[in-house]
Amino acid sequence: MNKQRILYVDDDKENLRAFRRLFRKQYDVLLAESGQEGLQILQAHAPLPVIITDQRMPEMTGIEFLDHSIRISPESIRIIITGFTDVQALIDAINTGRVYRYITKPWDEQELYVTIKRAVESYNLQVKNRQLVKDLQHKNEELQQSYETLKQTQDKLIQSEKLASIGRLASRIAHELRNPIQGIRMGIDLLHQDIGDDPNSRDTLKHLDQEILAVNTIIQDLLEYARDMKFEYTATDVNSLLEGIVFNMSEALTTQGIDVKTHYEDLGTIQADGLRLRQVLLNLVQNAIDAMPTGGTLTLTTTAPDAHSVAIAVQDTGGGIAPEHRQRIFEPFFTTKDKGVGLGMSIVHKIIEAHGGSIQIDSQLDAGTTFTLILPRQREV
């Protein structure tokens, strides 16, 4: 077992030799003839369990030396040896915590032995307590982390079960609606044949056609959300998907007075389900169009943040999303629109999550909204 080091500082060489003779068997004794030398030794060997010093020394007193030593080895136990004339200074030092205790000259060997032994034991106990506190803090951090992980898992399970229940309900509603809607559709087709050329009747039927189409869209969303999505991952050109969407929606964009700006980096291809990703982008572009009923600018941007991912940004100059709505935007059945049931963005989130990606929202009221998709280039199996 290694001996513990103690430092003794005294300008009297005879005292230094006597001290070493007394304690060299029990401790690794370091000696210094001045406060300055003692500080140098401390710099080289700190922390030390115990520091002992004589009070009366030239240039630097024992108390001054101990004051300086606190900055180098704050954990050390400090003992001072002095005559009766310095009692008040020693009492002050003890009261302020700078000195563990003092020994009067000439020191008694047994008293000094017991004092140093107890000082070393006190130091070791402090070290052990600090380690226990550190271990306890570490355990608490681990426990807190485990709790957070457990809570997240629990929340995911609750959310998963909640979404599954919603999905089952949505599926039932969709199937219940489908047959009556088909009957209405057939009735409208028959009316088209019977009304002839009456313009008012035809306008009414046209309006009914549009409403039936809207209801069918809702049913399709319900079924889409409820079913377990299947994905086919192939090499997919993101830029081509965006170009196709802009081309197909060019008439609606022009009619609504929306300018389109595109900034496409050469991304190559990524592993993705092209049809599902097109569904996501189409939804985001349609939302951007809806956000600019009186015209504006639609900006589509693709970039490569790093070698392993791509970013797709859909930006509008509409009214923005209210702060209280941003946290709920991916919730099933949450919507601020007059039409639809609020499943579009929930399906978008579901698809992007299945791709191992993420969605970021940056929105300012009266300034617009940017949805940014981050997708991995390769699918993790």
pLDDT at 217: 64
Percent of the chain topping pLDDT 70: 78
CA distances in angstroms from 271 to 28, 174, 231, 301, 351, listed in the order given: 67, 32, 11, 19, 14
**CA 23, CA 150: separation in Å to the nearest integer?**
56
Residue 44 has pLDDT above 80, yes or no: yes
Structure tokens at 148: 């957070």
Residues 155-208 pLDDT 10s = 666 666 666 666 666 667 666 666 777 777 777 777 766 666 667 766 777 767
Domain residue limits, the chain: 5-107, 149-226, 234-376
Q: What is the mean pLDDT of residues 214-220?
A: 66
- pLDDT band for position 116 (50/70/90)? very high
CATH 3.40.47.10 fits 149-226, yes or no: no
pLDDT value, residue 35: 92
pLDDT, residue 234, reads 93
- The answer to whether domain 234-376 has CATH 3.40.50.300 is no
pLDDT bracket for residue 214 (50, 70, 90): low
Confidence of residue 22 (pLDDT cuts 50, 70, 90): very high
**CATH node for 5-107:** 3.40.50.2300
The three-state (H, E, C) secondary structure of the chain, written as one string: CCCCEEEEECCCHHHHHHHHHHHCCCCEEEEECCHHHHHHHHHHHCCCCEEEEECCCCCCCHHHHHHHHHHHCCCCEEEEEECHHHHHHHHHHHHCCCCCEEEECCCCHHHHHHHHHHHHHHHHHHHHHHHHHHHHHHHHHHHHHHHHHHHHHHHHHHHHHHHHHHHHHHHHHHHHHHHHHHHHHHHHHHHHHHCCCCHHHHHHHHHHHHHHHHHHHHHHHHHHHHCCCCCCCEEECHHHHHHHHHHHCHHHHHHCCEEEEEEECCCCCEEECHHHHHHHHHHHHHHHHHCCCCCEEEEEEEEEEECCEEEEEEECCCCCCCHHHHCCCCCCCCCCCCCCCCCHHHHHHHHHHHCCCEEEEEEECCCEEEEEEEEECCCCC
pTM, two decimal places: 0.49
